[in-house]
Chain A
Amino acid sequence: MMYRQPMSPQYNTDMNRNNLLKEISMVDFAIVDLNQYLDTHPDDSDAVAYIKQYITILCRLRQEYASLYDPLSIYDACYSDCNDWRWARMPLPWEGGCN
């Protein structure tokens, strides 16, 4: 996949980017919800196996997103081979569109 500049017209309408971000949101939501469930059910080993599986998937997706687009947190910047600091220029989540 081609790396796109955030300011380019293609960026906000890039379906591949939108879909990847949507997938990250869905997987992360499962983790948020499972984590709260585990706060009150810490011995549920099925749920522990489940959350670990989702965390593994999330790590891979975030790495992919950072290498193709932008780091979602500064700690994902290690997966980006850009020389400029992408974090400073990437779109802000409240801007709408693809966010």
Chain B
Amino acid sequence: MWNYEKRLQFPIDIKTPNAEIAKVIITQYGGPDGELSASMRYLSQRYTMPYREVAGLLTDIGTEELAHFEMIGAIVHQLTKNLSVEEIEKQGFAPYYVDHTLALWPQAAGGIPFNSCQFQSKGDVLTDLFEDLAAEQKARTTYDNILRLVKDPDVCAPIRFLRAREIVHFQRFGEALRIVQEKLDPVNFYQYNPEFDGSRTDCDCNK
């Protein structure tokens, strides 16, 4: 279960609205390498994860990603707050505005809606951990790309914080991968899938 805290993980106080930048940053709200995808990926993968420390890590990182999802929501909200119709038109925000006014809706920068196909929950320890490692790097690249486009220090500070967290999570998933590999057959990691074959006695994969 979860409990809500009425505070952001990192303070966000943007003084200058900028819909053009909001349009780019929203990709981390509902885009392919965004925080919602990240959270749903880890929180979905954990149920069948046979190693408790890895399932625990997926839970804790998946939980932090929800806090990041909220941070991105706060950034986009503050960047689009109190915009006039003229500003909306001038800053290229009209196509989003017509469908959602100034509300938050998970989509990629190009307008593609959030979709579970943006992440995988494969049910194979190695496959999922490599997916998670790649996801952290893809998000880090996205934040690097955002930082090249953003000049406002009020926006850069929380984006830099989020970028740094991707690197830390990549490190933790790397450690999880090492823990898992130590438990697998050192001659052939793919001998069997501990997430499926591990508890089965009727399976001849273990022979």
Binding site for B on A (CB under 8 A): 21-22, 24-25, 28-29, 32-33, 35-37, 39-42, 70, 72-75, 87, 90-94, 96-99
Q: Are A39 and B8 in contact (CB under 8 A)?
A: no
What chain A residues lie within 8 Å of B53 (beta carbons)?
A: 39-40, 42
8 further A-B pairs in the complex, CB-CB below 8 A; given A21-B11, A24-B7, A41-B175: A21-B7, A32-B9, A32-B64, A33-B168, A39-B172, A40-B175, A72-B5, A96-B14
A91 to B12, CA, bound (A): 14
Q: Considering only CB atoms, which chain B residue lies closest to A41 in the complex?
A: B175
Query: Interface-forming stretch among B25-33, B54-62, B89-97, B137-145?
Result: B54-62
How many whole Å from A47's CB to the nearest CB in chain B? 13
Q: Are B172 and A93 in contact (CB under 8 A)?
A: no
Take A36-B168, A99-B7 as given contacts and tell me if A93 and B74 are in contact as well, using a CB distance cutoff of 8 Å: yes
Q: Are B4 and A99 in contact (CB under 8 A)?
A: no
How many whole Å from A27's CB to the nearest CB in chain B? 12
What chain B residues lie within 8 Å of A90 (beta carbons)?
A: 6
A29 to B56, CA, bound (A): 18
Number of inter-chain CB pairs below 8 Å: 78
Contact flags B2-23 to A (C-beta < 8 A → 1, else 0): 0111111111111000000000
Q: Are B14 and A73 in contact (CB under 8 A)?
A: no
A contacts with B: majority SS: helix
Partner of A39, one of B56, B70, B78: B56
- Among A24, A39, A99, residue most surrounded by chain B Cβ atoms (within 10 Å): A39
What chain B residues lie within 8 Å of A32 (beta carbons)?
A: 9, 60, 64
What chain A residues lie within 8 Å of B169 (beta carbons)?
A: 36
